[in-house]
A and B are shown apart, each in its own frame.
Chain A
Amino acid sequence: MLTIAMPKGRIMNEALSLFQQAGWPVPLQMELDSRKLVVSIPEAGFTLFLAKPMDIPTYVEYGVADLGVAGKDVLMEQARDVYELLDLGISPCRMAVAGKPDWQPDLHPRVATKYPRIAESYFKEQGEQVEIINLHGSVELAPVIGLAERIVDIVSTGQTLRENGLVELGCIAEVTSRLIANKGSYRLKGEAIQELLNQLEQVI
């Protein structure tokens, strides 16, 4: 029996259809739109549960989920001790630095982000001294309103940046969703996990 943690929201639909293509009888998206958080399909040998994308690596690290689908952005930010098994290639985007086109370095540069660890380590590697400001959403607002000159955030089409008059200044990393596994499950349920991996690899 495999327990799989799925992120709620945008990634979930793509991930579910990938599992379906791989021949796993996961429920249709419609059935999951209800408020139900746990779906058990014993005849196929798995249980799915839905959780916040940011929390998926935590469930997997502690082993309450054997597997999970998590964005590389979340994995980079949290650096949890889990196996990263497969790049599902879904919801591709970039972890990027952005700011106004006429952006000028301030005497006291500030960077706003939902990903403080990623931002901190990136600017450290660049040898730049910046103050990281942790926000929880609408990060694009920060340069517009004057909280920070630059932001670090995920960018997919760049639409939100453009709408706020911002441009991408640099790419930190390419981001896609990954299949992750608990260290213990990877050993104890290795065969079932390997089977799923092989099936998913066929359809990616």
Chain B
Amino acid sequence: MTKPQIFEKPMGFRDFPYLLAEKKRLVEDRVRQQFVKWGYREVYTPTLEFFDTVGQASEIPDSRMFKLMDRDGNILVLRPDQTAPIARLVTSVLKREPLPLRLFYHGNVFRAQEKEAGRSSELFQSGVELVGQSCPEADTEVIALSIEALRACEIHFPIIALSHVGLLEGFLRERIDHKAAISKLKQTLGLRDLVAFRQILACLDLSSADRQEILAITRSGLEHDQWKSLMKLARTEPVHDAFVYLERVWNNLEASGCTQLVKVDLSLVGSLDYYTGVYFEGYADGQGFPLVSGGRYDQLYQEFGVDLPATGFALKTDRLLEASPLKPEFPVRLALFYEPHLQKKAWKKAKSLRDDGWIVIMQPMEEGQIRKDLPVDDVLVIADEGGTSLC
């Protein structure tokens, strides 16, 4: 390996110059205000976790994790997501807290990129986890909160694609008694390869009615009455219950006033074998990548030895920074020039201005001259002749 150039950074990692850092702070503040208003409490978890615990439980495949070793030879990972560490936190440090727990985080997660240079390996996310509640109202709450968080970043009309992973799985199982075929079908949906999905379906030994029903349920952009009418196709109780569950989520969303932003697409599956119920992704105009994704993951907590239902979402902060029209606002910036021997007066003046909410940059004068090249809105001079003047 060649020695890196002095300015180089490891692949996939980037700096945030102040304009970007200020915007990130603003977006996170806006989002945080919403999370707090909805009763969520902030938590932090460590950057490093054990591969055998959090790493194994994570929805991120281990080929994309950054691994290292501690002094005892344990394999560590840079946290690949926030949900698994929070599950560890909930089942240990917070295990005596009354449920449900409403938690939120702002944090960076690390995922090795295989594709081109310039894609980030360190991603920022803000998200919530609602742990210990398995009712449709909990799912609705996180969906509605994700919309509210996007709106707080002035993305007024996001589109939420909503699905129910358990429903689809059960629906396929009712019609196909071939486990490998079902997992293959789900895999193609995970890859969003609808062509392969239909090809596999065509090759399966199915009645044409069954095939039509599967195609009908995996169509995108179903209207409420359309997917509701599919409910009568349910042949087993779990599938019927899943339909009823989704219906209750929908009715709840209607009550919260956001159904016009939500489209049902039961072909959406998210990370395979991770989500168990409701799953959703949020998009905004002009953005090719989702800004938020989340859903119900009732199996994760079993990895930590307890059976707790949970739902949540993660906002993709890096994408959100691109999508949000928000601009950080600053009060007027003043430069306070002063003759070095008047520094006491200058410090006093600066303090009183700052107390009044101004931004004050203190700059000693050089040979009685003031610099004209500072990025400030106004200039204040403390000198012997003329005293204090605002020009």
Please give the residue numbers on chain A whose beta carbons come within 8 Å of chain B beta carbons, in ascending order. Answer: 61-64, 81-87, 178, 182-188, 190-191, 194
Contact = CB atoms under 8 A, between A and B. Distances in A.
Contacts of B286: 63
Given A87-B195, A184-B288, 16 more contacts: A63-B286, A63-B289, A64-B288, A84-B191, A84-B194, A84-B196, A85-B195, A87-B199, A182-B288, A183-B283, A183-B290, A184-B283, A184-B290, A188-B159, A188-B283, A190-B220
Contacts of A182: 288
Interface string B40-83: 00000000000000000000000000000000000000000000
A187 B288 contact: no
Interface of B: 159, 161, 191-196, 199, 220-221, 263, 281, 283-290
A191 B219 CA distance: 12
Q: Give the 6 A-B CB pairs with smallest separation, nearest first.
A: A63-B288, A184-B283, A190-B221, A84-B193, A83-B192, A187-B283
Nearest to B192: A83
A194 B283 contact: no
A87 B191 CA distance: 16
B288 A185 contact: yes
Nearest to B265: A187
30 contacts: A61-B288, A62-B288, A63-B288, A63-B289, A64-B288, A83-B192, A83-B194, A84-B193, A84-B194, A84-B195, A84-B196, A85-B194, A86-B194, A86-B195, A183-B192, A183-B281, A183-B289, A183-B290, A184-B283, A184-B289, A184-B290, A187-B159, A187-B161, A187-B263, A187-B283, A188-B283, A188-B285, A190-B221, A190-B263, A194-B220
A63 B287 contact: yes
A84 B191 CA distance: 9
A85 B195 CA distance: 6
A188 B263 CA distance: 10
A95 to B, nearest CB: 14
A185 B161 CA distance: 12
Nearest to B116: A58
A87 B193 CA distance: 10
Nearest to A186: B220
A20 B36 CA distance: 54
A82 B195 CA distance: 12
Nearest to B221: A190
A149 B220 CA distance: 46
Contacts of B193: 84
Contacts of A184: 283-284, 287-290
A62 B119 CA distance: 12
A17 B98 CA distance: 64
A81 B289 CA distance: 9
Contacts of A187: 159, 161, 263, 281, 283
